[in-house]
Amino acid sequence: MHLPVRTVRSASRPKRGHRGQALVLACLSFLLLALMTTLSFNLSHALRQKMSLQQHSDALAYSMGVVEARALNYYAASNRAIASTYVGMTSVHGYMAAASATGEMMRAGQMSFFIIAAMEVAQCPPYNFQHCFDAIEALMIAMDYSSKASDYDQKVQGVESSFNKVIEELDNMANQIHASQQTVHRSTKNALRDGQSADLSQLTEKNVPGASELESGVGGMNADEFDCAVDGMNCTRAGNSSNKSRAQVMTEIANASRPGWAANRSLPVIMNGLPTYYKSEFIQDLLKDIPGEGTHMAVGHKGTAKVTQTKSNIHGPGQVTGNEGKVVVADEHGRLIQQWRHGFGTGGYEALVASSENGGSHEPSGAHTGQHDMFKGINTKDLMGCSSNGNCFMKFRASDDPSRDWGQPRVYSYVTKQFFVGGGAQAPWELNSNGSFTLTHGAQGDGQLRLAPGEGAALSKALVYYHRLGPNGWKEAPGLFNPYWRVKLHPFSAQEAAQVLNRAGNSDAAQLANAKDLAL
């Protein structure tokens, strides 16, 4: 039995409807697949760009930290060099005092023989004429000592101009070394501020072409962190110590660095009580040739040289409150004890040489010409105005706040880059020059869908820190006299990241950084 045509037609319509729905679903599937593929390409491209930008930001922060650490290590080495100029001054003053003491030793011999002559005269009457002859001979020996004293004084006068020249050059050396410190500080500060100086621009050119330069607000933070690491520079969060307190630091270090000879004449003393740094010809004259016979020796011979507040502090400790290093002074003193014929005598000797801005002093006066005013004092000016003179140096500005890393400086980096290329053959996954397309959805109207990334940003932090090599190196407080400054990448706190982002002009990201429980 044949079925009506109407029945056959009614049975075919649902099949064609199912095929239409399948075609629509297939088209939608292909569309979604295309969208997902495009999104995948764009996402992978954006992630790669973001990773590259973050690595560049890390490298920039670390490299700026390296520049800063090298500057701090240079300060440490050059501070030692400045201290060595004062150590050199103490040694030179020590030599000058030792030389000046030669004439005084001869005068001590003269005084001894005046005493011996008096003792011989006392034994002379009424009929012991030998004592009278001995007294006359003792007076003649005393005159020989006096003549030799004048000779040695003249020899010292002959080297005094050279002595003053050496002190002047050492003083100039300290100023020139500090001038180089100031130059390094300016160059380093510029590099930290712009992220381009000191060849830092090559990081962008070679690693991430098209990335922005360091944001000026962030660069300003870096410059301030660097200034705050040096006591005496302008710092927005901490004050400066006084010039006097900084002078005391360098004075103590200079005195502590003196060699043994300058500090206490740590050289062996021979049998006659005189140290071995005196020439044998001089000792022969003093103790043998002039007196001719008898027993003669020196006792209590001592000497020292140091940087002090006044010349009268020469015999005080090198580390004393209030010692601002205004005077370089050296002293040499002792006593001669002499036995000759029927008497004995003694005479003390002392020589002192001091250099200061006020003219200094030189004793004995017979060995002195002119003034000793070539040393101007340690750290006599404010650091910001100390260039060609003032004998300044770089001192670390410590902090007792652990949240500020004890004053150790931080370095920040914030850079951006436009990840959107613009479509075309260079980036076909971006669809077109806008990276977006429009969809029409019935009565709901048109909607725009963007598939390409926009601008990316990267934020980094490095910490310039002090760590002495060897066991327990962490226990040594940061300072600028040992070159143990290093750098490492360091994590942010939320508050710190928000502060940097605000300075970079990215207030939206700063609000996100302050979100609770957000990992940075």
Contacts of 418 (CB under 8 A, 6+ apart): 210, 454, 455, 456
- Name residue, tokens 């507040």: 309
Confidence category of residue 147, pLDDT binned at 50, 70, 90: very high
Q: Report the pLDDT value the prediction gives residue 3, as an integer from 0 to 100.
A: 42
The one-letter amino acid at 210: G
Residue range 486-508: mean pLDDT, rounded: 90
Residues 485-495: tens digit of each pLDDT: 999 999 988 88
Residues 294-323: tens digit of each pLDDT: 999 999 999 999 999 999 888 876 566 788
Q: Report the pLDDT value the prediction gives residue 485, as an integer from 0 to 100.
A: 97
Q: Report the pLDDT value the prediction gives residue 5, as an integer from 0 to 100.
A: 46
Q: What percent of the chain has pLDDT over 70?
A: 85
Dihedral, CA atoms, 178, 179, 182, 183, nearest 10 degrees? -140
3-state secondary structure of 1: coil
Higher pLDDT among residues 487 and 160, named by residue: 487
Q: Report the pLDDT value the prediction gives residue 255, as an integer from 0 to 100.
A: 93
Q: Report the pLDDT value the prediction gives residue 494, as an integer from 0 to 100.
A: 86
**Would the pLDDT of 26 be above 90?**
no
Q: What 3 state SS string does 212-256 have?
A: CCCCHHHHHHHHHHHHHCEECECCCCCCCCCHHHHHHHHHHHHHH
- Cβ atoms within 10 Å of 423's Cβ, excluding its own: 16
**Would the pLDDT of 418 be above 50?**
yes
| Lowest mean pLDDT across 199-213, 243-257, 284-298, 424-438 | 424-438
Residues 230-282: tens digit of each pLDDT: 999 999 888 889 999 999 999 999 999 999 988 888 777 777 889 888 999 99
| Lowest mean pLDDT across 24-28, 59-63, 312-316 | 24-28
Q: How far apart are CA 186 and CA 188, in angstroms?
A: 6
Query: Which of 246, 219, 212 shows the shortest CA–CA distance to 384?
Result: 246
- Joined together, the tokens standing for residue 121 give 């005269």
> What DSSP designation does 443 have?
G
> What DSSP designation does 108 have?
H
Q: Report the pLDDT value the prediction gives residue 284, as an integer from 0 to 100.
A: 93
Confidence category of residue 7, pLDDT binned at 50, 70, 90: very low
Tell me what the pLDDT averaged over the chain comes to.
86
Q: Report the pLDDT value the prediction gives residue 210, as an integer from 0 to 100.
A: 85
Angle between helices 243-256 and 5-123 (to 10 degrees): 70
Q: Report the pLDDT value the prediction gives residue 35, as an integer from 0 to 100.
A: 66
Provide the CA 394 distance to its chain's centre, in angstroms.
5
**Would the pLDDT of 436 be above 80?**
no
Q: Report the pLDDT value the prediction gives residue 13, as an integer from 0 to 100.
A: 57
- Cβ atoms within 10 Å of 310's Cβ, excluding its own: 13
Q: Report the pLDDT value the prediction gives residue 185, as an integer from 0 to 100.
A: 96
Residue 429 to residues 12, 35, 266, 346, 432, Cα–Cα distance (Å): 43, 10, 82, 105, 8
**Would the pLDDT of 500 be above 80?**
yes
Residues 212-231: tens digit of each pLDDT: 899 999 999 999 999 999 99
Residues 348-392: tens digit of each pLDDT: 999 999 999 988 888 887 767 778 888 989 999 999 888 778 899
Higher pLDDT among residues 290 and 515, named by residue: 290
Q: How far apart are CA 500 and CA 493, in angstroms?
A: 11
- Joined together, the tokens standing for residue 142 give 């005393």
Contacts of 258 (CB under 8 A, 6+ apart): 87, 90, 91, 305, 306, 318
Q: How far apart are CA 182 and CA 170, in angstroms?
A: 19
Q: Are 396 and 229 in contact (CB under 8 A)?
A: yes
Residue range 97-120: mean pLDDT, rounded: 94
Q: Are 375 and 355 in contact (CB under 8 A)?
A: yes
Most confident of 268-272, 427-431, 474-478: 474-478
**Would the pLDDT of 442 be above 70?**
no
